[in-house]
A and B are shown apart, each in its own frame.
Chain A
Amino acid sequence: MDSQIKQIHQQLVNKQITCTALIQEKLDLLKKNTHNTVNSLLDTLALELAAKVDAKIAHGETIGLLEGIPFGIKDVYMLQGTYATASSDLLKNYKSAYTATAIQKLLDAGAIPLAKENCDSFGHGSSSENTIFGAVKNAINPDLVGGGSSGGSAVNVAKDYTVFSIGGDTGGSVRQPAGYNNIYGLKPTYGRISRYGLMAYASSTDCVGPLAKSIEDIRIVLNTMSGKDAKDQTTYISNAIDEASVLNYEDVKTVGYFKNFIESEAIDAQVKSDFLATLEKIKAKGIEVKALDFFKSDTLVSTYYTLAMAETASNLSRLDGTNYGERIESGSLKETYSVTRSENFSEETKRRIVGGNQVLSQGFSDEIYLKGLALRDQISENFENDFNEVDIILSPVTPSTPPKIGDSLKDPLAMYLSDAYTVGFSLGQLPTLTIPQGTTTGLQISAAKNNDELVLKFANFLKDAI
């Protein structure tokens, strides 16, 4: 599909549609949708902004490419004056006091936010069932999960309720729901987009990521949000990715894939055969395909979850009902903390906080946490060596198809293991894009750090080649 952003922009400029009518149509769709994608609708704000865009057009003023384009925001981002619930009881009435940098950049470019989108509570989940707003239903088959944790965002894009949405990806939370709903979803290189105003889950892998229906829309939104930000000192200066340059994909000569991902017993037979067929098509285009060695899936998943739980235990320790959140008064201050947290965190969130405190506690940290950090370093080194040999690493997004709603919560270990193909690239902080091609839940394209441009180039190549 071609750029929806450009198409709508042209329609607005040519006065074929008004921005108000467009925004109202999308708000109506979001309001009556039955996929549980919306935590709160930003109708008043959106219509006010739309009226301003219409006034500009009526006065013959030039409008920017993103001006008037409706988008969705995962409910873990701050947008001043709107609810930011993280789909949790603890923050169900919490209002953002300020606006996230990434979101502010989109607002400055004139994009119009429509909704705060349903997700797994604090990003803790791979199915968007760990939420107080009801499980997100898959866009293609509503009996299945929408994926997670940015499930509401992916389903909104897939159903055309939003033109693009902004998710958050810590271990696969943009890429996996993009795969489950057959759209594009990018986890950029860590640090390319500021995390300021994104509720912290695991700070060392948290990334802001766009979901959209075309590579071009991903590129436009990525460029708008990227850049160094004094409020997130892990950010770095990056160059805008040029439209013409991503259409020239001759730079890719060699593609690698991880042998053990494909030889794993856990992979669905159809996903496996589709993936292998894709590799054959790539070879037929004259690109060399190399099998690479990689860490076992259980090592990847365990390393990721060990570090992510340690970081989330630390990040969520501030949520105690003192300054904000649903405080439940009890006998003493400590009791108040404890009751507030026990009653207001979901089972999955509590499981992760407890796991994190376990690995950080004396006696465990050497044996588990520090070893996890050492493994992470090895994983990163492994990637660095791989990218001396190949330009791109291609992999499936998930070992199998989306589960039925209700199944994931019963078996947390199975849910963790279903992240086997996404978490490694998070630990490596690599740019990775899900494309809706190749297998039933798509393909992931990864490149070396800071090479987000090459990922988009190869996505354009695959769009025509497979």
Chain B
Amino acid sequence: MSKIMTVDILSSIKGAEPSEAVSKLFDVIKNAHPTNNNSFNNANNNAVSLNDLRDDVIVESSAIEKQIIKENFPNEKNGFLVVSKVIEE
């Protein structure tokens, strides 16, 4: 199924529209002629080697960290953190 999504939906920003200033920047790229269209030729390869991956371990958050995460939660009722209505579609 193909569904066209507009930038306001993609961005989750009401009424968002492409801007003229940004479109002018994109026009420059459209009209450019890179000599090499292979964009993965490693000039800026920051990938990590498999041998260098950090250990996949669960790190317990400190009590203060957990407390702040709860404080940052936007809505709390009777000791529960309240999320918005779930998607019904």
**Given the known A-B contacts A332-B87, A357-B7, A375-B32, are A380 and B25 also in contact in the complex, defined by CB atoms under 8 Å?**
no
| Chain A residue at minimum C-beta to C-beta distance from B67 | A97
A387 within 8 A of B: no
Q: What are 5 A-to-B residue pairs whose CB atoms are below 8 Å?
A: A322-B74, A350-B11, A351-B19, A370-B39, A413-B24
Q: Is the CB of A302 within 8 A of B10?
A: no
Residues of B in contact with A (beta carbons under 8 Å apart): 5, 7-8, 10-22, 24-26, 28-30, 32, 34-44, 46, 48, 52-54, 61, 64-65, 68-69, 71-75, 83-88
- Size of interface on A: residues with Cβ below 8 Å to B: 74
Q: Is the CB of A377 within 8 A of B41?
A: yes
Option from B29, B34, B73, B84 in Cβ contact (under 8 Å) with A302: B29
A145 within 8 A of B: no
Option from A80, A233, A309, A331 in Cβ contact (under 8 Å) with B22: A309
Option from A321, A339, A367, A375 in Cβ contact (under 8 Å) with B34: A375
Question: What are the residues of chain B within 8 A of A345 when measuring CB–CB?
Answer: 13
Q: Is the CB of A376 within 8 A of B26?
A: no
Q: Is the CB of B29 within 8 A of A230?
A: no
| Chain A residue at minimum C-beta to C-beta distance from B71 | A95
**Given the known A-B contacts A333-B87, A336-B85, A353-B13, are A358 and B26 also in contact in the complex, defined by CB atoms under 8 Å?**
yes
Q: Is the CB of B29 within 8 A of A368?
A: yes
Q: Is the CB of B43 within 8 A of A371?
A: no
| Chain A residue at minimum C-beta to C-beta distance from B70 | A97
**Given the known A-B contacts A81-B64, A321-B74, are A305 and B44 also in contact in the complex, defined by CB atoms under 8 Å?**
no
Q: Is the CB of B37 within 8 A of A354?
A: no
Bits for A219-253, please: 1 = Cβ < 8 Å to B, else 0: 00000000000100110000000000000000000
Q: Is the CB of B12 within 8 A of A320?
A: yes
Q: Is the CB of A332 within 8 A of B13?
A: no
Question: What are the residues of chain A within 8 A of B41 when measuring CB–CB?
Answer: 377
Q: Is the CB of A80 within 8 A of B65?
A: yes
Question: What are the residues of chain A within 8 A of B32 when measuring CB–CB?
Answer: 299, 302, 371, 375
Q: Is the CB of A333 within 8 A of B86?
A: yes
Q: Is the CB of A338 within 8 A of B12?
A: yes
Q: Is the CB of A342 within 8 A of B15?
A: yes
Question: What are the residues of chain B within 8 A of A313 when measuring CB–CB?
Answer: 11
Bits for A302-332, please: 1 = Cβ < 8 Å to B, else 0: 1101100100010001001111111101011
Least distance between B3 CB and chain A CB atoms (Å)? 11
A429 within 8 A of B: yes
Q: Is the CB of B25 within 8 A of A354?
A: no
A457 within 8 A of B: no
Residues A110-166 near B (CB distance < 8 A): none
Q: Is the CB of B68 within 8 A of A81?
A: yes
Q: Is the CB of B12 within 8 A of A334?
A: yes
